[in-house]
Amino acid sequence: MSENNNQNNDIDVDINIQKYRTIAVKFIENNRNKLISIYLQHSKTDGDGILVINLFEVESKSNIDVSFVNNEILDIDIIEKINERKTQNNNDNIIYFLLITPFEEKIIEIDIRTLSV
């Protein structure tokens, strides 16, 4: 019985992870010009960083928070992961997002040329 409950919980978590990822993708698609503008403006004035898309309270507040976070403030593990991806991609057209949900924190990278209209 316990194994079955664990399997059901795993399925529920996977469904919720996918749900939040879908919300994030739609949000990025619908707000691409604003996100590009925010990222470029802050990266010029504040230096290297990422956009944080916080979906932690999207269901309770129907709100998605976006902020630019400078690398100096980020956790060293996140910076290392981003630097590794930058080394692999070697592409200045990549915007890095940190997606925060109740189920995960995930780094997303998107080429701004695919976001531009």
- pLDDT band of 6, cuts 50, 70, 90: low
Whether pTM exceeds 0.85:
no
**Contact present, 55 and 99 (Cβ < 8 Å):** yes
Give me the number of domains the chain comprises.
Answer: 1
pLDDT of residue 100: 93
| Residues near 83 by beta carbon (within 8 Å), at least 6 away in sequence | none
- pLDDT band of 80, cuts 50, 70, 90: very high
Asked if residue 116 has pLDDT above 60, the reply is no
| pLDDT, tens only, 32-45 | 889 989 998 998 99
- Its domain, for residue 78, covers 2-115
